[in-house]
């Protein structure tokens, strides 16, 4: 049985003993409920998603928070369109009498951004390496070549390097994210863009790609006259070999070429054709927002934001007979922490000077859509938002010895973040897998993109009583076997102590930020500086 107050919690006993400690058991029970089969994987625009948001709003109300959404409600409506590519969609390639056809899900996945029921496209294939133009690193994969109307073939990720001054060394930058690749393709007028998947370049298996892209995806509704890619998607390494063989190339050869600064785009001489059949519907989805008002008459109009995404993948392709993608860890855990922190904050007899906004966002799994919408339509102006502290997929494997707060070092909050970690006797661990670009893969990035200091308070890498390296090994096992799979389910024997610690850490950090005289900022020169 997990005790609500452990040894590390004694370091903050004056706070939590007087005002109601943060409870591992309450975090457990919220996680358990949010990952029940009853909620059908918390799909966006689905019954399970509606149930999840009603539950979260109800818990906020019981906690003593106040509604902070549209028109005095708990909800901020997020206008999205659901695009579900149908199995009869086609993708093929041909050159000089030779051709290849690719099978949906087994060899390719993707979506037409035109938001039309049927989109046909054809274009010359051109290989553009990693598809990056980064003047600050003296890197240009396009070298002035006009790719308008063409179908780009490329890899995700970025040129590898151990030089911390070149694409930040091992750490993935935004240039390496697949989102950037498609944005750049659209900016350059391409007709489509196809990423050849490899597990090393993507950082995850084809099953993760297929499960994420082989279902309905949420997209912001296109404005009238807006440009869009006819196709953006992925193909397996094996399908990539089949495609490139038509041009006498191979995946390994082109991957090696793409890692060279002298790389120039390679016309493949191949015509790629596609017919994308899509089921289109407007999604009824929403962010859930709750506020606990600050105590200072002037500063209470400013907020510290705590965020977590409530959505997961809903009902999808069965695996071992199970079609419900419960998302217990991803992100039942983060939402559970959010609810418990709202309760603890509202229970404070003396509130901090600034207010606290607790935000459960939609459509993270579809590309951070809910948080991105909030960042451009904030309930509290960005200039009055101190920071976003985000929680996403924490691991209930015992008592943490450390905490991961990648991105905190970019901000003026860093000294305070170090002080609170020391107070709680937690080491600050570096990102164990910086090459996977986690900083750009969770909802805090939407706030950072808008200039607001933001980072996630992440999972531990070392656990008390466990052998050294246990956390990383367990993470790798979860990532390979359960991430975005139906097997991400609640387990009764999970130990939620580490989640309690992460909540305590974020609570104290947010409280102190809420009481500071000045708003936090990015460190001068950082790419997100206000």
Q: Are residues 304 and 403 in the same domain?
A: yes
For residue 524, being part of any structural domain is answered with no
128 — phi, psi (to 5°)?
A: -120, 30
For residue 3, being part of any structural domain is answered with no
For residue 158, being part of any structural domain is answered with yes
Report pLDDT for 436.
77
Burial profile 30-59: b = 16 or more Cβ within 10 angstroms, e = fewer: bbbbbbbeebbbbbbbbebbbbbbebbbeb
Confidence band (pLDDT; 50, 70, 90) for 54?
very high
For residue 263, being part of any structural domain is answered with yes
CATH number, domain of 54, equals: 3.40.630.10
Distance CA 502, CA 306 (A): 13
Distance CA 389, CA 97 (A): 56
Report pLDDT for 203.
84
Residue 231 has pLDDT above 70, yes or no: yes
Contact 353, 295 (CB under 8 A): yes
Contact 486, 325 (CB under 8 A): yes
Q: Are residues 185 and 142 in the same domain?
A: yes
Write a three-state SS string for 97-122. CEEEEECECCCEEEECCCCCCEEEEE
Q: Helices 24-34 & 497-515, crossing angle to 10 degrees? A: 110
Q: Report the first-to-last Cα separation within the chain, whole angstroms.
A: 46
253-272: pLDDT as tens digits: 999 999 999 999 999 999 99
Report pLDDT for 490.
98
Helix (H) or strand (E) holding 92: strand 90-95
For residue 528, being part of any structural domain is answered with no
Confidence band (pLDDT; 50, 70, 90) for 173?
confident
Residue at which a domain ends, from 253, 281, 309: 281
Report pLDDT for 123.
97
Residue 13 has pLDDT above 60, yes or no: no
Report pLDDT for 82.
93
- Per mean pLDDT, which range of 174-188, 202-216, 409-423 is the poorest? 202-216
Report pLDDT for 190.
98
Report pLDDT for 1.
34
Distance CA 158, CA 160 (A): 6
Residue closest to 141 by CA, chosen among 266, 235, 244: 266
Calculate the average pLDDT of the chain. 93
SS3 state of residue 335: helix
Q: Are residues 156 and 73 in the same domain?
A: no
Confidence band (pLDDT; 50, 70, 90) for 84?
very high
Residue 194 has pLDDT above 60, yes or no: yes
For residue 335, being part of any structural domain is answered with yes
**Comparison of pLDDT for 158 and 5, the residue scoring more:** 158
**Comparison of pLDDT for 140 and 9, the residue scoring more:** 140
Per-residue tokens: 351: 């509130």
Confidence band (pLDDT; 50, 70, 90) for 10?
very low
Please return the burial class of 294, using the count of CB atoms within 10 Å of its CB with bins 0-12, 13-18 and 19+.
Answer: buried
Report pLDDT for 530.
54
For residue 164, being part of any structural domain is answered with yes
Report pLDDT for 70.
97
Report pLDDT for 12.
43
Distance CA 55, CA 181 (A): 37
Please give the residue range of the domain that contains residue 109: 82-281
458-481: pLDDT as tens digits: 989 999 999 998 988 998 899 889
Q: Are residues 340 and 262 in the same domain?
A: no
Region 210-238: mean pLDDT is 92
Helix (H) or strand (E) holding 283: strand 266-283
138 C-beta neighbours (distance < 10 Å), count: 8
Q: Count up the domains in the chain and report the number.
A: 2
Residue 20 has pLDDT above 70, yes or no: no
Residue 83 DSSP class: E
Contact 447, 385 (CB under 8 A): yes
Residue at which a domain ends, from 281, 307, 328: 281
Region 153-173: mean pLDDT is 87
Q: Are residues 201 and 182 in the same domain?
A: yes
Contact 56, 31 (CB under 8 A): no
Report pLDDT for 106.
97
Residue at which a domain ends, from 259, 281, 303: 281
Q: Are residues 130 and 38 in the same domain?
A: no
SS3 state of residue 394: coil
Share of the chain above pLDDT 90, in %: 82
463 — phi, psi (to 5°)?
A: -125, 140
Q: For residue 126, what are the β-bridge partners? A: 152, 267
Distance CA 280, CA 219 (A): 10
Residue 9 has pLDDT above 50, yes or no: no
Confidence band (pLDDT; 50, 70, 90) for 317?
confident
Distance CA 413, CA 304 (A): 13
For residue 523, being part of any structural domain is answered with no
Residue 251 has pLDDT above 70, yes or no: yes
Q: Are residues 160 and 213 in the same domain?
A: yes
Contact 404, 470 (CB under 8 A): no
Report pLDDT for 163.
83
Confidence band (pLDDT; 50, 70, 90) for 529?
low
Residues contacting 124, CB < 8 A, separation 6+: 149, 150, 151, 267, 268, 269, 270, 271, 272
Region 338-346: mean pLDDT is 98
pTM of the predicted model as reported, rounded to 2 decimal places = 0.85
Write a three-state SS string for 396-438. CECCECEEECCCHHHECCHHHHHHHHHHCCCEEECCCCHHHCH
CATH number, domain of 215, equals: 3.50.30
Distance CA 497, CA 380 (A): 33
Region 500-510: mean pLDDT is 98
Report pLDDT for 221.
86
Contact 90, 379 (CB under 8 A): no
Report pLDDT for 2.
33
Q: Are residues 316 and 462 in the same domain?
A: yes
Taking the C-alpha atoms of 373, 379, 382 and 386 in order, what is their torsion angle to the nearest 10 degrees? -120
């Amino acid at each position: 049985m997990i005790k609500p107050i452990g040894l590390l919690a004694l370091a903050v006993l004056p706070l939590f003993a007087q005002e109601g400690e943060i409870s591992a058991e309450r975090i457990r029970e919220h996680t358990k409920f949010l990952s029940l089969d009853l909620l059908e994987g918390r799909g966006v625009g689905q019954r399970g998603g509606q149930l999840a948001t009603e539950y979260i709003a109800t818990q906020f109300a019981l906690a003593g928070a106040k509604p902070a959404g549209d028109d005095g409600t708990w909800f901020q409506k997020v206008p999205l369109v659901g695009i579900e590519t149908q199995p009869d969609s086609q993708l093929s390639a041909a050159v000089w009498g030779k051709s290849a056809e690719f099978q949906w899900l087994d060899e390719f996945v993707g979506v037409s951004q035109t938001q039309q029921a049927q989109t046909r496209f054809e274009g010359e294939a051109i290989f553009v390496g990693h598809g990056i133009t980064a003047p600050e690193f003296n890197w240009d994969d396009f070298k002035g070549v006009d790719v308008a109307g063409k179908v780009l073939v490329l890899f995700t990720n970025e040129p590898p390097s151990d030089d911390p001054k070149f694409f930040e060394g091992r750490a993935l930058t935004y240039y390496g994210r697949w989102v950037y690749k498609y944005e750049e393709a659209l900016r350059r007028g391409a007709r489509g863009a196809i990423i050849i998947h490899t597990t090393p370049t993507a950082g995850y298996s084809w099953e993760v790609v297929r499960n994420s892209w082989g279902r309905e995806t949420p997209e912001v509704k296109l404005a009238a006259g807006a440009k869009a890619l006819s196709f953006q998607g992925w193909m397996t390494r094996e399908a990539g070999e089949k495609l490139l063989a038509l041009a006498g190339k191979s995946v390994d050869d082109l991957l090696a070429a793409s890692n060279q600064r002298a790389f120039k785009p390679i016309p493949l001489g191949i015509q790629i054709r596609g017919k994308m059949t899509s089921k289109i519907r407007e999604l009824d989805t929403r962010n859930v927002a709750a506020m606990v008002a600050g105590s200072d008459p002037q500063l209470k109009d400013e907020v510290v934001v705590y965020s977590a995404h409530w959505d997961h993948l809903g009902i999808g392709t069965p695996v071992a007979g199970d079609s419900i993608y419960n998302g217990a860890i991803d992100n039942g855990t983060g939402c559970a922490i959010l609810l418990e922190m709202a309760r603890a904050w509202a229970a404070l007899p003396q509130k901090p000077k600034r207010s606290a906004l607790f935000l459960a966002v939609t459509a993270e799994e579809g590309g951070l859509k809910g948080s991105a919408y909030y960042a451009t339509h904030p309930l509290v102006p960005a200039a009055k938002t101190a920071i976003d502290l985000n929680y996403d997929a924490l691991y209930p494997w015992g008592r943490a010895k450390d905490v991961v707060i990648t991105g905190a070092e970019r901000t003026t909050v860093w000294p305070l973040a170090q002080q609170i970690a020391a107070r709680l006797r937690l080491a600050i661990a570096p990102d164990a897998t910086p090459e996977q670009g986690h900083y750009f893969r969770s909802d805090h990035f939407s706030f950072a993109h808008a200039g607001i200091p933001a980072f996630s308070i992440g999972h531990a890498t070392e656990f008390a009583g466990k052998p050294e390296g246990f956390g990383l090994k367990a993470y790798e096992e979860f990532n390979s076997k359960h991430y975005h799979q139906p097997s991400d389910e609640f387990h009764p024997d999970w130990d939620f102590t580490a989640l309690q610690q992460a909540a305590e850490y974020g609570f104290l950090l947010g409280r102190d930020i809420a009481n500071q005289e000045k708003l936090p900022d990015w460190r001068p020169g950082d790419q997100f500086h206000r």
